[in-house]
A and B are shown apart, each in its own frame.
Chain A
């Protein structure tokens, strides 16, 4: 995959991760309020899962900018 294409894919993935928080928080059934191990699904997602995934995506993309 070329560098610009990989970069565009990574940005799209980051924006999808961001949209995921809105989906969990704002959909009428409030799926983000479900508790997992005492913490709401929304905070597991916005505080741990999405940040780790987003940072991983950015690191991989920035470290391997060529090739």
Chain B
């Protein structure tokens, strides 16, 4: 397999769009997540060729589940896109799932496959170049502008203050200053007022056009699909207070180390399972790392330009909102529609190539995947319909692959692989269900619950290695 084809499985739209959103929102974890998103697949490309070591039902089941969860995270994006474009979530999920099922039946992938990730990377970069030229700012200049912003407020041209915008997923908005919010979709809106102890929860049934007045400290719960309008010049709820806060993220500090390690172990472990090692040396092998770098750089670039030109686009937490709405804010019509369509097209191509690559990985561990693949797409669609947090899903899928699948791939024999997978699976499941069986678990366990692969993968790997060494010693003793 070429490095470019191997890289396709890593270029999941959910990874890239969430990265862009996190950079735009000034997330404290964004710098190492961006670097980890690039270095994890590079490590996997360079790692020793990993071969299945015979029948391993634990790893096979975990791999199928992990692939379904990762695909579900992508389908959540399709649901987001449908809601942002005025449709229903299931329209997006149904269309994307249909395309994913249809693609392997078409002749196109045979010639389009290897080049598709490079085409998608170019399609993500071109709109960014158009935005950079229009704004007259290189990415580092845009970053600098974003970091000098005195306060993150709604500008005059923002869709949130002109016609209102739609929330593609449920959100909780925390207000740091008083402001009025006009409800454009009738429904029940819950407000948590924190000016008294204990906080007061009020539920307001509002008709379209009615206004909510919120005070500093209030928290407004918004359902998916709700459309709201905010006042121009007021602070964006949930956004960093200023450019300095966006740039330096005061939460960043030594206390974040366990979480950072958890995220990076999950990324690297997940990549070791999903991204096959590149076995073809030569100049073409450079394509994989170069496309990975270009695509991750494009994702970071989108985030930086959103933070500089339209930081309110991160409101609502839809990973697709920056790609769909930044062109309109930065370029204006009619170029904006073309550029937004190009960016959306890049995401669709990435989704299809990534899904095909996932299907290929399934074939590598479970044989010809036709019926199983249909089941995986069905399961992924059902999970996506719940509208979960796509990043949480991706971490779960990569973590499961890292904990159960990776130890099997790194083992030297069937028994060792089975032992590693079983221990990895037990540790992973134990940590996942921990909040259910022990709700009062110590706070330091929170990192392990968020990133179970941090413990489960090394444990599974250690058991696989120890079992392999013991089996090797027994074989050597018999030979002697």
Contact = CB atoms under 8 A, between A and B. Distances in A.
A46 B35 contact: yes
Given A25-B252, A38-B143, A47-B300, A59 B290 contact: yes
Given A40-B247, A55-B289, A14 B46 contact: yes
B38 A61 contact: no
Contact of B31 (A14, A43, A57, A58): A43
A15 to B, nearest CB: 7
Contact of B289 (A50, A59, A65): A59
A63 B292 contact: no
B140 A55 contact: no
Q: Which applies to chain B's interface (DSSP): helix, strand, loop or mixed?
A: helix
Interface in A3-57: 4, 7, 10-11, 14-15, 17-18, 21-22, 25-28, 30, 32-33, 37-40, 42-43, 45-47, 50-52, 54-55, 57
B20 to A, nearest CB: 13
Interface in B260-294: 260-261, 264, 278, 281-283, 285-286, 288-290, 292-293
Contacts of B252: 25-26, 30, 32
Contacts of A18: 32, 35-36, 39, 264
Given A38-B140, A38-B147, A59-B290, A27 B254 contact: yes
Contact of A51 (B32, B278, B296): B296
Nearest to A3: B281
Nearest to A20: B35
A55 B260 CA distance: 22
Contacts of A21: 31-32, 35
Contacts of B257: 22, 26
Interface in B76-115: none
A62 interface: yes
B272 to A, nearest CB: 11
Interface in B1-26: 3
Which bracket fits the contact residues of A? 35 or more
B221 interface: no
A59 B283 CA distance: 9
A51 B283 CA distance: 19
B35 A63 contact: no
Contact of B39 (A40, A45, A54): A54
A47 B147 contact: no
B46 A58 contact: yes
Contacts of B35: 17-18, 21, 46, 50-51, 54
A39 B300 CA distance: 14
A34 to B, nearest CB: 10
A59 B163 CA distance: 49
Contacts of A52: 293
Contact of B32 (A7, A38, A46): A46
A55 B254 contact: no
B31 A55 contact: no
B469 to A, nearest CB: 19
Given A38-B140, A50-B35, A63 B281 contact: yes
A46 B34 contact: yes
Given A17-B39, A46-B34, A62 B281 contact: yes
A40 B181 CA distance: 35
B48 A4 contact: yes
B147 A46 contact: no
Given A11-B46, A14-B42, A14-B46, A37 B140 contact: yes
B43 interface: yes
Contact of A26 (B45, B260, B297): B260
B43 A63 contact: no
Contacts of B264: 18, 22
Interface in B297-318: 297, 300
Interface of A: 4, 7, 10-11, 14-15, 17-18, 21-22, 25-28, 30, 32-33, 37-40, 42-43, 45-47, 50-52, 54-55, 57-59, 61-66
10 contacts: A14-B46, A18-B39, A26-B260, A33-B247, A39-B140, A39-B144, A54-B289, A59-B290, A62-B286, A63-B286
Closest 3 CB pairs of A and B: A38-B144, A65-B281, A46-B31
Interface of B: 3, 31-32, 34-36, 38-39, 42-43, 45-48, 139-141, 143-144, 147, 247-248, 252-254, 256-257, 260-261, 264, 278, 281-283, 285-286, 288-290, 292-293, 296-297, 300
Given A15-B39, A47-B34, 19 more contacts: A17-B35, A18-B264, A21-B35, A25-B31, A25-B260, A26-B256, A28-B253, A32-B252, A33-B248, A38-B141, A38-B143, A39-B144, A42-B31, A52-B293, A58-B46, A62-B46, A62-B281, A62-B288, A63-B281
